[in-house]
A = this chain, B = another copy of it.
Amino acid sequence: MVSVAEDRPLLLRALAGEDTARAPMWLMRQAGRYLPEYMAVKAKASFLEMVQTPSLAAEVTLQPLRRFDLDAAIVFADIMTPLPSMGVPVTFNPGPVVEPLRTAAAVEALRIPDGDEIAPYLCETLKLVRTELATKNVPLIGFGGAPLTLAAYLIQGSGSKEFEEFRGFLRREPSTAHALLNTLTEVSIRYLRAQVNAGAQVIQLFDSWAGLHDEDTYRTFGLPYHRRVLAAIEGVPRIFLAVGAGHLLGCIAELPCEGVSVDWRTSLSVIRSRLPGRTMQGNLDPAALLGDATSLTREANAVLRAGVGGPHIFNLGHGVFRQTAPEQVARLVDVVGGFDRHAGRR
């Protein structure tokens, strides 16, 4: 007889703190350009059209789950998705481009829309995907960008290797930066709550550019806002993702979230010792999927072994590269599925 608890999706069990025998697994950017079926959709619609058309967004959200035995879906969207509702048009070329926002007046002029105004198409997508997944017992993840990462794009005006305009702005115009972060925090809360209301069962907050900052800067401009966003998400578990942030674990330890997702640079066993009681998510180098079968298996097993000792959600340290062969993802699913996390106990 299967108990109710065992019926619960593995991902949610791991996020509830259960040290599961198999690591649940999903991949950042699992719906993406490495899949020929994704490229077939993309041939007929722009990235923005895909995100903003619920039938297309639901289709690409579900594509990787048809191919691979994954333990979660993540809704197809972008961290910049809420910005147009704030009065900031976004284009993609291929990364996001906005008119740089660098004055107090421009920050003051930002709209703070109601939750259901921010991205109604995304809520529709979430409902469609939930309906499709009802029989599969696979949970659906919603997400948003962390305020400090959204501010990086808004102030810089685009992605950047160094984000120097943004980093200089934080120093020259701290009060305007705080006003912007405050607005982004309020909108993020409304946006993520709307996703939960529409059916998201987990929320992941992406601080993709956390690694730009030293700890003092992060404590001033990142931590207070990220804490507020995470604290405002109720009813579903929260995962905080930070890239290049091995030096910020002291800050991350203060955030109210069930899971922490980290990149490949530091071993999960080291991260876990700094973040006791959290579910670890990660952290295979996405470049491992560009290796051969032998190197992929070796690297995946090293991540799996480092994840033993507490709850672990297997993932990459960052998104799937477009050059990835789908066969490599299938192989990775097999390796993770075949790893018994309790073997050492028997």
Give me the interface of A with B, judged by CB distance under 8 Å.
159, 161-162, 164-165, 167-168, 170-172, 174, 211, 213-217, 244, 246-247, 264-267, 285-288, 290-292, 295-296, 299, 302, 318, 321, 323
Contacts and interface: CB of A to CB of B under 8 A. Distances in A.
Contact of A244 (B167, B211, B264): B211
Given A246-B246, A292-B171, A292-B172, A211 B265 contact: yes
A285 B171 CA distance: 11
A89 B334 CA distance: 44
Contacts of A170: 287
Contacts of A213: 265
Given A214-B265, A215-B267, A265-B214, A168 B244 contact: no
Given A161-B161, A321-B162, A172 B291 contact: yes
Nearest to A295: B171
Nearest to A303: B214
A250 to B, nearest CB: 11
Contacts of A164: 286-287, 290, 321, 323
Given A285-B214, A321-B162, A172 B266 contact: no
9 contacts: A164-B287, A164-B290, A164-B323, A167-B285, A167-B287, A168-B321, A174-B295, A213-B265, A244-B265
A153 to B, nearest CB: 14
Contacts of A244: 211, 244, 265
Contacts of A290: 164, 167-168, 171-172
Copies of the protein in its oligomer = 2
Which 4 pairs between the two chains have the least Cβ-Cβ distance?
A168-B290, A171-B291, A167-B287, A171-B295
Contact of A171 (B168, B266, B287, B318): B287
B247 A291 contact: no
B168 A287 contact: yes
Most buried by B among A217, A285, A286, A296: A285
A215 B295 CA distance: 15
A216 B302 contact: yes
A148 to B, nearest CB: 14
Contacts of A287: 164, 167-168, 170-171
A161 B162 CA distance: 10
Contacts of A321: 162, 164, 168
Contacts of A159: 161
A167 B246 CA distance: 20
